[in-house]
Chain A
């Protein structure tokens, strides 16, 4: 069963490599599992997902990320994507003049072997079936990627791409941000439809409410660049009830306890 392993990862902005944002994070995700990382703003959640995907603004200063046992750190962003990594962006880019159909077609084509041509009929058939599944109007495909989209449309477009590209691991960065409850439900249904043995999911979120719709197998609390607490879905509820200050206090307590025992 493939795994995505994050080992003692340190990440900084490329401009300020001596100021780590992610500070020694460890996490292993297997396909079939849904993990959620929760944490207060500015704790490094988005940095983590962008660094794993290979965003040029970030630099991994130490540690490793392994996909199916192989390090991906030497790979370009597009190679990582073709290796099975999908990032659902918090703020998806607009690509004027490039229709969703053409964009996805280019992305699917990029995954074929050299010299192999995409079967256009089969492609459209599959695209439309995925759209039906996600309850997306077919007119959608002729619109330019994300251009002039509402927040909800952008997120649905991300889910559609995920459905078409069939990644092994999907990193979903604040997929719930900016969505009203209806849009959130639609997005969550999409993810739930794709859940299964072939897909591992890492949900990054600030709020618990997304986890009402996509129920995670594991919940991790991230604070100051690392995972400080892990548990099952009840941890998310506890967090919701007690707030992030509770985590901070617990951390402070255990730190002073550590000092006391030392």
Chain B
């Protein structure tokens, strides 16, 4: 398949046949990691394929396939220029970023159909993926709505009637910008400007999929809305775009899960997530990602919180080759509150470079950051934080706690907070510590009959327990299981 030029490529020529039906065909050189949950691929026929590499033609192709308004194409093309101009942030970030080959990545793959409202309508090859990941079952049990994205587009999108009747909009980015521009255009790209960083610019140029949510004034969505992001194809770049607007006094919890199978070549996931919590609104955004160890996961997440609004990011990063993600809150209205709860687990060959940004922009705003990381084997976890309290504000508070747990002698952790405080009416506090699991604690547990590995797993689960308790039950169980899997092979 040649990269498309200015014209729309014929839809019937694209057939992705490189990927085998089972995980067994894919070699996994990394020891001690079981990504078995997500490590499978199915042979899928893609109707639309933008080919490998990035140029203006690819962007026009994506926009064409989506039948977008011209302002969106303009937005994309401008973002592409910004992407080209922006340097890699390697003066502070890891040089591993230079290993991303933008020419090898496939920027758009889809079957070209609208997302289905029932699982029965979802094509079998995609449906079995999500069934294996347990999505339909979770939906039945405890979710208000689900969107399931497969590579570039959502395959399934449904919101329960009771929620739809309240006026809640929950759909993908293409549909949202086409059907509800009056709601979404106002905030689209406003919380995170295109030029925020090289990868937000890339996303803005080629974005596809993601969730756009609007919760009307005063509506409190009782059950969580969930999106599941699945990468299926090798060398693929997933660039979903999420925008959640909670109108005055509205409340919503959104959860996302992410997986990809293991490939020997690298995959790129680069999302942009914008949250808008209007006066008195509450948004809780929960991420549990379990990326395969070949994924570059470079995500920009930011929220704006108006007067008395509350935004809470719960961000749990497991897997990937490199994750760079610093969820932020711009505390724009008085008494707004922002919170980031971050858990990161870096195993051999992985670098979790995560943290938080709290930008205070109004009086009496409060922010809280609690970050816990675990480094296993030669894994490296890095915390980066920004707390910014500029001039002329009164009564702002920040409390930051970072705790790192190092499992093996060659595990690594870094902490790089940056705190700016102007004025004498604020209280800002940052504490960080590094520790290991004590030998006495392991012996104590062994004496009760647990193996060293079980003891280690229990200690690690205990280390993050106070944070995991804030997760919905189903997710905390899942997280515990993922940690157990990651801890296997870490001892002895």
State if A and B touch, Cβ cutoff 8 Å.
yes
Considering the chains assembled together, what is the distance between the CA atoms of A104 and B454 in angstroms? 13
Considering the chains assembled together, what is the distance between the CA atoms of A81 and B455 in angstroms? 13
- Expressed in whole angstroms, the minimum distance between the Cβ of B437 and any Cβ of chain A is 10
A97 and B448 in contact, given A55-B443, A103-B458, A110-B454 (Cβ under 8 angstroms): no
Cross-chain contact B448 with A98 (CB below 8 angstroms):
no
Cross-chain contact B450 with A78 (CB below 8 angstroms):
yes
* Residue picked from A53, A96, A97, A104, most chain B C-beta under 10 Å: A97
Chain B residues whose C-beta falls within 8 Å of the C-beta of A53 in the assembled complex: 447
Q: Restricting to A48-103, which residues have a CB under 8 Å from any CB of B?
A: 53-56, 76-78, 80-82, 86-87, 89, 92-98, 102-103
Contact with A along B445-487 (1 / 0, CB 8 A): 1111111101100110111111000000000000000000000
Chain A residues whose C-beta falls within 8 Å of the C-beta of B418 in the assembled complex: none
Chain A residues whose C-beta falls within 8 Å of the C-beta of B452 in the assembled complex: 76, 78
Q: Which residue of B lies closest to A87 (CB)?
A: B447
Chain A residues whose C-beta falls within 8 Å of the C-beta of B464 in the assembled complex: 97
* Residue picked from B448, B458, B465, most chain A C-beta under 10 Å: B448
From B439, B443, B449, B463, contact of A107 by CB (8 A):
B449
Is the CB of A175 closer than 8 A to any CB of chain B?
no
Is the CB of B441 closer than 8 A to any CB of chain A?
yes
Cross-chain contact A111 with B458 (CB below 8 angstroms):
no
Q: Which residue of A lies closest to B448 (CB)?
A: A107
Q: Which residue of B lies closest to A167 (CB)?
A: B449
Is the CB of A168 closer than 8 A to any CB of chain B?
no
* Residue picked from A77, A81, A86, A98, most chain B C-beta under 10 Å: A77
Is the CB of B438 closer than 8 A to any CB of chain A?
yes
Cross-chain contact B465 with A98 (CB below 8 angstroms):
yes
Chain A residues whose C-beta falls within 8 Å of the C-beta of B449 in the assembled complex: 78, 81-82, 107, 110-111, 165
Chain A residues whose C-beta falls within 8 Å of the C-beta of B447 in the assembled complex: 53-54, 77-78, 80-81, 86-87, 89
Chain B residues whose C-beta falls within 8 Å of the C-beta of A96 in the assembled complex: 462-463, 465
Chain B residues whose C-beta falls within 8 Å of the C-beta of A81 in the assembled complex: 446-449
Chain B residues whose C-beta falls within 8 Å of the C-beta of A106 in the assembled complex: 450, 454, 458
Considering the chains assembled together, what is the distance between the CA atoms of A33 and B286 in angstroms? 56
Q: Restricting to A136-179, which residues have a CB under 8 Å from any CB of B?
A: 144, 161, 165
Considering the chains assembled together, what is the distance between the CA atoms of A104 and B445 in angstroms? 10
Is the CB of B431 closer than 8 A to any CB of chain A?
no
Cross-chain contact A97 with B462 (CB below 8 angstroms):
yes
- Expressed in whole angstroms, the minimum distance between the Cβ of B33 and any Cβ of chain A is 22
Considering the chains assembled together, what is the distance between the CA atoms of A56 and B445 in angstroms? 13
From A78, A144, A165, contact of B462 by CB (8 A):
A144
From A55, A76, A95, contact of B445 by CB (8 A):
A95
Contact with A along B271-297 (1 / 0, CB 8 A): 000000000000000000000000000
Chain B residues whose C-beta falls within 8 Å of the C-beta of A95 in the assembled complex: 441, 444-445, 458-459, 462
A98 and B450 in contact, given A56-B443, A92-B444 (Cβ under 8 angstroms): no
Is the CB of B182 closer than 8 A to any CB of chain A?
no
Considering the chains assembled together, what is the distance between the CA atoms of A97 and B461 in angstroms? 7
Considering the chains assembled together, what is the distance between the CA atoms of A97 and B465 in angstroms? 5
Considering the chains assembled together, what is the distance between the CA atoms of A111 and B48 in angstroms? 54
14 extra A-B contacts, CB within 8 A, seeds A98-B461, A103-B458: A55-B443, A76-B452, A78-B447, A78-B449, A78-B452, A87-B447, A92-B444, A93-B441, A94-B441, A95-B462, A96-B463, A97-B463, A97-B465, A106-B454
